[in-house]
Amino acid sequence: MSTPQKPEEYIKGVLNRDRRMLAKTITLVESGLAEHRKVAGQVLGELLAHTGRAIRVGITGVPGVGKSVFIETLGTFLTCQGLTVAVLAVDPSSARSGGSVLGDKTRMEKLSADPRAFIRPSPSGKTLGGIAARTRESMLVCEAAGFDVVLVETVGVGQSETAVAAMVDFFLVLALAGAGDELQGIKKGILELADAVAVTKADGENIKAADQARQQYEVALHMLSPSGSAWCPRVFTCSALAGENIDTIWETVLAHRKTLQASGEFEAKRRKQAAQWMWRLLEEGIKERVFALPEIADSLSAVVSRVEHGEITAAAGADKLLFYLDKRIKV
């Protein structure tokens, strides 16, 4: 994409649910070029009034846990009910390889051929914040195009779960039954974000182990102090391959929504998330600009090296760099 089209063309295309224009609009939104960002901003500004109606679900878990197969099964379950489903991904590790969901389209064979579904791989980008911000904007575009459900997949590495949890209504953690410590490999911080945990691959010889893992997760979730929310996180076993318990998990997503709507938390969460995203973007923008200041860019590595060698303290190093910023702000 070189010269962008007029904002109205993207807006009209998305609102008319024209899939080609939907894909083009997401490409526009993902672009880092200033010219594209400007048009994207206008398009998103207009589309905002048409967003907010989708059910936003985040799905995380370590590579190999079964996210893609789970999304294939859940997505197909939903489209069979007549719902439309958009699948997006936040995967910093796949930025170079062109996006995991694309590679995973083979694992989502049914869903990618489904006219009620739309699958988009992770955008490429330098920073996780950038990738996640683009995905959030793509989610809004999909909502404006009328998708009933948006599934956001993310790998359980880095901080991507936190970013995805901050853009969805319901955050599902997929886990595996394993030998020894069942909670091994899953970060405590992720459990705190979970609205539900599903121990997946509960089929064949794995059923018993999965059920034991489920009990351990129940204990672990119980021990995390209650958040003061009307919702208590739930734990399930499921099998995406056998289609086992997928319906129960979806019913849980809907029950969670109902509970939070009744307690007033739903609206509050959405509002808080929007503000949270503004802060994220602001902080990232400030950081980028500060590090791009020539004085700071030029002396950064030298100052870091002096701190590393114990020649100056960390605080003195930071002060040295902030001095340049102070000077800039004063003039």
Ligand X SMILES: Nc1nc2c(ncn2[C@@H]2O[C@H](COP(=O)(O)OP(=O)(O)O)[C@@H](O)[C@H]2O)c(=O)[nH]1
- The residues of the shown chain that bind Mg ion, judged by CB under 5 A, are 67-68, 104
Token pair recorded at residue 167 = 């853009």
Q: Which of residues 135-194 bind ligand X (CB under 6 A)?
A: none
- Token look-up 């019913």 returns 251
Residue 114's φ and ψ, nearest 5 degrees, are: -85, 120
Using alpha carbons only, give the angle 132, 268, 234 rounded to the nearest 5 degrees.
75
d(CA 131, CA 125): 5
User: Would you count residue 239 as binding ligand X (CB under 6 A)?
Assistant: yes
Selection from ligand X, Mg ion, none that 69 binds (CB < 5 to 8 A by kind) is: ligand X
Is residue 66 close enough to count as binding ligand X by CB under 6 A?
yes
Among 26, 65, 86, 196, binds ligand X (CB under 6 A): 65
> Which one, 66 or 233, has the nearer CB to ligand X?
66
**What token pair was written down for 228?**
């003061």
Distance, in Å, from the CA atom of 188 to the CA atom of 193, rounded to the nearest integer, reads 9
- DSSP class of residue 225 equals P
Residue 75 partner contact from ligand X, Mg ion, none using kind-dependent CB cut-offs of 5 to 8 Å: none
Which of 25, 79, 135, 200 contacts ligand X by CB under 6 A? 200
Site membership for ligand X, residue 241 (CB under 6 A): yes
Q: Closest Cα partner for 300 from 282, 284, 324?
A: 324
Please tell me whether residue 107 binds ligand X under the rule CB under 6 A. Answer: yes
Does residue 60 interact with ligand X by CB under 6 A? no
Q: What phi and psi, each to the nearest 5 degrees, are found at residue 218?
A: -60, -45
Nearest CB to ligand X, comparing residues 114 and 137: 114
CA 203 to chain centroid: 28
Interatomic CA distance for residues 272 and 87, integer angstroms: 23
Q: Which of 25, 279, 288 is nearest to 133 (CA)?
A: 279
Minimum distance between the CB of residue 165 and ligand X, rounded to whole angstroms?
Answer: 17
Name which of 7 and 99 has its Cβ closer to ligand X. Answer: 99
Q: Are 89 and 154 in contact (CB under 8 A)?
A: yes
Nearer to ligand X, 201 or 256 (CB): 201
Contact partner, 200, from Mg ion, ligand X, none, Cβ < 5-8 Å per class: ligand X
Q: Which of 56, 67, 105, 136 binds ligand X (CB under 6 A)?
A: 67
Choose the one of ligand X, Mg ion, none that binds residue 63, judging by a C-beta under 5 to 8 angstroms depending on kind. Answer: ligand X
# residues contacting ligand X (CB under 6 A): 16
Q: If binding is defined by CB under 6 A, does position 68 make contact with ligand X?
A: yes
d(CA 165, CA 183): 20
Q: Which residues bind ligand X (CB under 6 A)?
A: 61, 63-69, 104, 107, 200-201, 203, 239-241
